[in-house]
Structure formats: C-alpha cells, structure tokens
Amino acid sequence: MAESFETESRKLLGRLRDAMASEGAGQERLDKITTLIASSMGCEVCSIYLFRDEKTLELCATEGLNKASVHETRMKLGEGLVGRVAKRGNVINTSDAPQSPGFRFMPETGEEIYSSFVGIPIQRIGETLGVLVAQSKTAREFTADEVYALEVVAMVLAEMTELGIFVGDGAAMSARHSQPVLSRGTVGQEGVAEGNVWLHEPRVVVSNPIADDPEVEAIRLTAAVEELRIGVDQMLTMAGNDKEQREVIEAYRMFANSKGWMRRMLDSISSGLSAEAAVEKEQSTARARMNGQSDAYLRERLSDLDDLSNRLLRILTGQGSDTGAEMPENPILVARNIGPAELLDYGRKLRGIVLEGGSVGSHAAIIARALAIPLLVHVGRITNDAVNGDHIMVDGEQGIVHLRPEDAVAAAFRDKIAMQAAAQERYSSIRDQPAQAKCGTVIGLDMNAGLMADLPSLENSGAEGVGLFRTELQFLVRNKMPKRSELSALYARVLDAAQGKRVVFRTLDIGSDKVLPYMKPNDEPNPALGWRAIRVGLDKPGVMRMQLQALIRAANGRPLTVMFPFVAQFEEFRAARAEMDKTLAREERLGHILPSKIEVGAMLETPSLAFAPTKFFEEVEFLSIGGNDLKQFFFAADRENERVRRRYDTLNVSYLTFLEGIVKRCQETNTSLSFCGEDAGRPVEALCFAAIGFRQLSMRPASIGPVKSLLRRCNLDDVLAVINDARDSGEMSVRSAVMEYVRAQHQS
C-alpha cells in the first residue's frame, strides 16, 4: 500500500475523530461524517444507511443526495444495491449502478444522475449494522485503495455505533442494546424463567478505534500477538497426548503464526486504526467471508479464529474474562456455547440458559435437564444483542426469548408464570395420591435423574421411584475416567437418598452426541447410528465391568436394578447379561455382599428390538422404551434437525400402532414395560400411552404433577375408543381427536 495513501487514510480518520470529539447530537455528527468522507474521497455523494429493524435499512445521513429523503428513504434487506450489500455482507463496486443487477431507483433521493456506486457493509464482529455508500457522476469503479479506505472508515463507524455516538430520533438511531428484541430458538429443556442477563463471555469493548501513532499501535499489536503465541504453545504442552485437544490448539497455532493475518492487521494500523480496531476489522472481514460456508471444517475454523481474536483483544485491552461485574439477581446465562463442567460450576444459581449454538442432545442440555433449568439453543445473535444485567424472559415452552421486553409483553409473560405456579400448587395437592384414571387403572409415575441434586425431587414431585438414572453424567463432567471407588460411593448415596424406592441405573450411554473428553474421538459420518452405548460397553468390557462392580458394591445387599442402553438385538443383551453374571460371580469370590435382588433390563430404542425373538422378551426382566431415540429412528428424522424433527407427531397413527405392538408382546410374556423420555412427560401423550397399555411412565420431575392431574380426570377406556375411532376414520394423527376429548373432560 502506498505511503501517500496511508497518510491520506490517517488524515481522514483524524478528521473523523475530531468530528466525534466536537459538541453535537448524533444526527449532527453523522452529517459531518458524510461531508468529511465525500470531501476526502473526492466524490459527490456519501450516504450512511443503518438498520431500523432486522429487515429494514433507513437512510440516516447524506452528503449529495436530497436531504429531505433522510429518514424517509427505506429499503428491505436484499432490496436494491444497498440492501444487497447488507444481506451479503460484501462490497458492491460498479461504474454503472443503474445497469447493475438488483438496482432500485429511489426518485426522492435525486441519485439518478450518479453513475458510480460503491457500498461497504458497516460490520462489527460478523453483525452488519448498516451500509456506507459513496457515489459519483463519473462512470468509474472505485480503486482498491479507495475501497480499503472506506472499509477502514466503516469499521470505525461500526465501533462508534456500538458506543452510542450516533444516538438520535427514530428507530434506526436509537441507542444500541436499548430496544426490545424477540428471538426464537430450539427448546433444550422446557420451563419458563424471568431474570437478568449474565454473559458467560463478556463482550470486549473497543473505546479507541482511531489511533494517534501507528508505530506505537504496531508495537502494541506485535507484543500482544507474541504473548498470544506463547499462551497457545503453553496450551499445547498442557494438552499432552490428548489428540482432540491438540488438533484444536494446532488450529489456533496456525492462525496465531499466520503472516497474512498479521500483515492485514498491520495494514489496518497503517491506515489509522488502533490495534484493537485492526483485530476486530480482520475478525469481521473473516466472518463475512466464511459465514455463508456450509462446510463444517470451515465453520470450525471460523470459531477458532473468533476465539483467538477474542483472546488477542483481551490481551490488548486488559479486559480479562473476569471483568469484576457481579452476577445479577435471578441470572439467566447467555453464551455462544458452554461445556458441562462449566455449567455445573454455576449450579442451581441460574434461572435459565440461552445459547447461540448447542443442541438438544448436547452435554449442556443433559445438565440443564438434570438441574431442571429452562434451556434454549440455536438462538441466533443473542450474545450480540444482550448486555450484562438486561431484563430477559425465557419461554422454554414456545422456544422464545424476550430481551428487554416492553411492559405489555412482560405483564403477559408474568401472567403465564403465575398460572403455572397456580397449577403447580394444584398438583402438589395430589402429590401423595395415585395416578388412578376414572376407569380404576393405576399408572406408575417415575422420574428421570442424573445428578445427586435431582434426588430431593423424588419426594417433592410425588414420583414413585427413579425410572432412569443416567450414569454418563459423572463421566462427562470429568477430564479423566472416574475411579471405581468414586462411582461406588456416588451410587450408594443415590440409593440412600431414594430411601428404598426403586432406582433404575442405566449403564454408560456414551457416543453419538455424548463424547467423553478423555476418550479417543471417532470420526463417524452418522454418530447417532454408530459406535455408542451398549456397543461401546461390549467392545470395552473393562469399562462396563468396572461400572457393574461399582453398582454391585453400592447396593451392598440392597436390591439393584440395571438397564443396558441402545440394545438393537437379542445377542447384545445376552452378552451384556453374561458380563453381569461374571461380575456377580467375581464379586462373590472377593467376599463382597451381593444385592438381595437384581433386575436386569434393556432400553428399547431401536425398532429392530421390537421384533426380537420371543425368547428375548422372556429372558429380559423389564423393558423401557427410550422414546427420544426410538422416535427419530422410526421416522428416520434426526431429532437435532429442526427441518425434519417437527414434521413427525408422536401421536401419529403408525407410531402408536407400533408402540401397541410392543405392549402386546410384553403382555404375552408378562414382561414389565415402561415408557421413558420427553414425550412421557407431555400430558396428552402420556394419556395416550396409558390408553394403549403402558402402566409405567418415567419423566422429568416437573412433569409428574401435570401428567397425574390429567390421568385422574380421564377414563382410559374412553381414550382408547377415541384413538381407535380416529385411526379407523383414516386420520394421520389422533392428536386433535384426543385433545377434543380432553377439553370436554376439563369443561365437565
């Protein structure tokens, strides 16, 4: 880049800083900027468009166009050249704007006499805030140096917008992080919560985008990058032989040592940006370049670059991850993503969790369910929109987040919370009563658990026992394999807390979306159908044996119930059962006290097991339907994929008929059967399961009250008749017919 150009760029940024330092309201400052840029670039027009809402841009200032069009001219995202720049996040540079694809003529601006057009996205860390436009009468493309200068200016405008320098009248110039925001996501754990934002990774604030001395800034950047590189090398040493960690850190190291990355940041500093702004400009440019990529590898690299850039910004600004801010009352955690150990550190202090990433089957989701904390995942841009302490409401029923809600929205939300609280009071009044339907049939209601913290709910919820204790959580939250003695002590505490009530321990269910940090990762094209659960246990008998020994010793003469997960065929169950028998014999030889009674069952999560030989149903002592997995395999619809997950209804006729077949096979062999999973905790679904023959359901503790309440109001014979009538009439789902029946019971 030419020295003269760098000098001109620095002069322009210096004038911008002077304009910002002068007295004046936001509109006045914005007007000065457009005049300065037009003058410095030697063009007749400079305009600034900012978003007034997610889909609409507004002309907020101009030099050269009709002043009366300011705040009057608006365009939708993707509309016209300006809208296309905003939508794509890319520069448009043309010598003949009227003939360019997507051009929209706006007569009120008087722009028809200008041929040349360059549009630059005003971006901050991947978020487009608006568009900077320069135009001239002369038919020419703007040079690469001119485009670069405008990109530098756009970067500064983005930082100034974030800092609230352009606050004025109207939605487009309202203060950042002051407007209500409604975001949608995917429900990871149901429930509703109101509280205040607590950012897991506080935003780095760049308050000095324009530099006084480029040489000083270059020295600061060089020193910070060197500190970053040393830190990455130390991380690599600490990773030891952990292949997965080393791969991630090697990617960091590649970026940290990239000469191109360093050169581009130094070029930005030469143009007048501070070291911090140069880092953010490169981060924003890379995000714009890679954000649209569907390639998983490239998306991971973008995440690596984001993390590295944030580390570098914290070094430059001195803003560590601990900013000194105090956690607000009723904190609702907002983060890009979070690991299970970090989430457990917060414990029950959190009222809710909102993640930009994550998945309904992630480790964080498992912990959130165990702690009964409402969780939403895939909530786009929430970490950009939210500020520590912001008022936030999480609707884990509808998958909606209200950030800084208006009074009317907050009032309606509180009414919903109050109604739920009133309902919980009603449910507590029947806590100690059986889930007995009007026809006299009694349904056993158990709870799911995975942490010691869950066990108080056994008494408070009215659950009759623990239908599923997920043993993998103790493996997932550690950096190394737990010891047998540690597991035995934990399982003993679980049995102590259950006070004689039945606890079904599911053996280690890992693989698919639950990968242990200390196990060698397996690159499988479809991990949900891959090496997981019982398959891992049978291939790694030492791990299974260690866990079975821990369970037997924990029982210490008490009854023990063990369930093997993801059994797909009879042979797998027989092999696992044989491992249990060998372990029992070995424990007896060693002099350990054996359980007074032992039940060994299987989780039916694959359609294949429903068609196992009758001998299997005779040998297995109990079966539990794993509803979440069984449903995704039955419909061939990935439960992590929102595009297909919602297409299929649990109360679909074909699925209910399939479940009925399992019920009948278990009745013929007198095999105990339960249904376990999210659907068991949904009252209407639970009612239908009971009607087709299930006599045991297991669910999260908070669902027991609503399910019991509905069961006690209904006659299962009548519900079965409604299901059969809907099925015989050719309905695809029995939901609407059963809902109509339920409403009638509610009114009577």
| CATH number for position 233 | 1.10.274.10
Query: Taking phi first (over 0 means left), then psi (-120 to 50 degrees means alpha), and beta for anything else, what does residue 271 get?
Result: alpha
* CATH number of the domain enclosing 161: 3.30.450.40
Is the Cβ–Cβ distance between 606 and 630 less than 8 Å? Answer: yes
Same domain, 354 and 407: yes
**Total tally of structural domains belonging to the chain:** 4
How far CA 633 is from CA of 24, 510, 544, 586, 653, in Å, comes to 63, 18, 25, 38, 16
Same domain, 191 and 98: no
pTM score above 0.85: no
Residues catalogued as catalytic: 363, 676
Residue 564 belongs to a domain: yes
Q: What is the DSSP letter of 483?
A: P
* Per-run averaged pLDDT (10 residues), the chain, 748 residues: 55 74 75 88 90 88 89 89 89 87 75 85 83 90 85 83 75 75 85 89 75 88 90 76 66 80 88 86 74 56 71 79 72 84 78 83 71 86 84 89 90 84 82 93 92 76 91 74 89 92 91 58 66 82 92 96 95 95 95 95 96 96 94 86 78 96 97 94 95 95 91 95 94 94 82
Same domain, 262 and 136: no
* CATH number of the domain enclosing 190: 3.50.30.10
Residue 139 belongs to a domain: yes
Same domain, 125 and 194: no
Residue 442 belongs to a domain: yes
Spatial separation of the C-alpha atoms in residues 703 and 684, rounded to whole Å: 12
Same domain, 639 and 507: yes
Same domain, 567 and 531: yes
Is the Cβ–Cβ distance between 392 and 402 less than 8 Å? Answer: yes
Quote the domain boundaries for residue 225: 214-317
Residue 384 belongs to a domain: yes
Domain stops at, among 395, 419, 443:
419
Same domain, 231 and 370: no
What pLDDT score does 1 carry?
44
Residue 394 belongs to a domain: yes
Same domain, 231 and 191: no
What pLDDT score does 146 carry?
85
What pLDDT score does 322 carry?
57
Residue 710 belongs to a domain: yes
What pLDDT score does 651 carry?
95
> What phi, psi does 721 have (nearest 5°)?
-65, -40
* CATH number of the domain enclosing 692: 3.20.20.60
What pLDDT score does 243 carry?
63
Domain stops at, among 388, 419, 450:
419
Same domain, 412 and 446: no
Same domain, 410 and 482: no
Same domain, 393 and 413: yes
How far CA 189 is from CA of 3, 272, 376, 506, in Å, comes to 57, 48, 7, 21
Domain stops at, among 291, 317, 343:
317
Report the length, in residues, of the chain.
748
Residue 208 belongs to a domain: no
Same domain, 244 and 333: no
- Which of 120, 115, 119, 118 is closest to 96 using CA atoms? 115
What pLDDT score does 517 carry?
55
Residue 381 belongs to a domain: yes
